[in-house]
Amino acid sequence: MAPRIAQGGLRENRLLGWALPRLAGVVAGTAPMAVFGVLGRNRPVFRGWLHFSGKLLAGGRLGRRDTELVILRVAHLRGNDYEWQHHVHLSARVGFDAAHIDAVRRGPDAELWDDRQRALLRAVDRLHTDQDLDDDTWAGLRAHLDEPTALQFLFLAGHYQMLATVLTALRVEPDPPATGAAATAHRLLTRLRAR
């Protein structure tokens, strides 16, 4: 299926919306990342979205492993290949292996999860089906998260539901692997990170 909005070039997306997809692709080992190239077509919204999503990912209270767990479960439940593939790759950086990925698919009752992870997954599942949390699910979540972190969890899960909707509606396909100079740059960056 063809994307409904193509990635913008330098003229449409200006410097940030043109450079960021390429830099992110080098880091991820993919072609320029379509999520940035497409959303960059609306520069004011793109800038606000970057700031907001950055606070949820790198600047958040939830922790990277929990964050990736939540995002992967949302992507799985929504059936969004773009989010799923990108975050399977990112989750490997925080120690997720094939068993973790399989357990994400199986959900909160998979034997791999501890009580905190089960509470997060149950809350994601409930938000997905009901767009709400019943009192028991909320209490289970709050047993592991303080108020500010519980708020962040809700924003994170809701944000990735929203992003899955946008990516699905726009028919954004997963980014293909990088080739040429971008692939070489990714391999070099990977080696530097390993040191």
Task: Say if 2 falls within a structural domain.
Answer: no
Task: Say if 151 falls within a structural domain.
Answer: yes
Task: Say if 177 falls within a structural domain.
Answer: yes
Task: Say if 38 falls within a structural domain.
Answer: yes
Task: Say if 192 falls within a structural domain.
Answer: no
pLDDT digits (tens, 9 = 90+) for 14-52: 999 999 999 999 999 999 999 999 999 999 999 999 999
Q: What is the pTM of this model?
A: 0.94
Count of domains observed in the chain: 1
pLDDT of residue 57: 87
Task: Say if 80 falls within a structural domain.
Answer: yes
The contacts found for 1-6 with CB under 8 angstroms, 24 or more apart, are 1/171, 1/173, 2/171, 3/34, 3/38, 3/170, 3/171, 3/172, 3/173, 4/169, 4/170, 4/171, 5/38, 5/41, 5/170, 6/38
pLDDT digits (tens, 9 = 90+) for 42-66: 999 999 999 999 999 877 789 999 9
Using 50, 70 and 90 to split pLDDT, how confident is the model at 195? Answer: confident
Residue 129's CATH number: 1.20.1290.10
Using 50, 70 and 90 to split pLDDT, how confident is the model at 10? Answer: very high
Task: Say if 57 falls within a structural domain.
Answer: yes
By residue range, what is the domain housing residue 180? 10-185
Task: Say if 1 falls within a structural domain.
Answer: no
